[in-house]
């Protein structure tokens, strides 16, 4: 069985120096491990005392993929959300909301498979 290496993608914060694109979305960022999976964030503002974020993934593989993603407010803590996402070849995911108490957001992608099932995980393609 292959050993799965979990890699922290990027620490994203509202105050970070990422360029804003049309409609308030940040530029697409490639994950640190899988060069054909990208993500972008949009800070929607505050609801009460919580920051509201939109998150969207992009699949640049020429086949369907599925993967786990973890979103948290601090490095090495995966407590905000953990889910599995499936995206068709060269498509975008639907945006989804994430709520945080702070302005920093950490994103991790792992267990990528070229099928809709969590089997036969592919190795990290970046060093």
- CATH code, 49: 2.60.40
Pairing type for strands 104-113 and 7-13 reads antiparallel
Given a cut of 70, is residue 7 above it in pLDDT? Answer: no
38, two tokens: 């990208």
- Classify the C-alpha dihedral 90-91-95-98 as positive or negative: negative
Percent of the chain with pLDDT over 90: 62
Does some domain include residue 81? yes
Q: Is the pTM of this model over 0.75?
A: yes
Does some domain include residue 1? no
Contact 73, 60 (CB under 8 A): no
Average pLDDT of every residue of the chain: 82
Does some domain include residue 2? no
Given a cut of 70, is residue 73 above it in pLDDT? Answer: yes
32: which residues sit within 8 A by CB, 6+ positions away? 7, 8, 9, 10, 126
Q: Could you tell me the residue range of the domain that residue 52 belongs to?
A: 7-113
Does some domain include residue 91? yes
Question: How confident is the model at residue 78, as a pLDDT?
Answer: 54
Question: How confident is the model at residue 77, as a pLDDT?
Answer: 60
Tally of structural domains, the chain: 1
Which of 68, 57, 54, 58 lies closest to 97 in space, CA to CA?
54
């Amino acid at each position: 069985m292959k050993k799965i290496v979990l890699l922290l993608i990027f620490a994203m914060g509202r105050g970070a120096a990422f360029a804003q694109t049309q409609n308030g979305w940040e530029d697409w960022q490639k994950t640190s491990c899988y060069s054909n999976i990208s993500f972008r964030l949009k800070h929607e503002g505050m609801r009460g005392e919580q920051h509201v974020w939109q998150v969207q993934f992009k699949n640049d593989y020429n086949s369907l993929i599925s993967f786990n993603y973890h979103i948290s407010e601090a490095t090495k803590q995966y407590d905000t959300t953990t889910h599995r996402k499936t995206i068709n070849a060269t498509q975008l995911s639907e945006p989804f909301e994430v709520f945080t108490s702070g302005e920093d957001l950490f994103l991790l992608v792992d267990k990528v498979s070229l099928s809709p099932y969590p089997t036969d995980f592919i190795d990290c393609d970046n060093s």
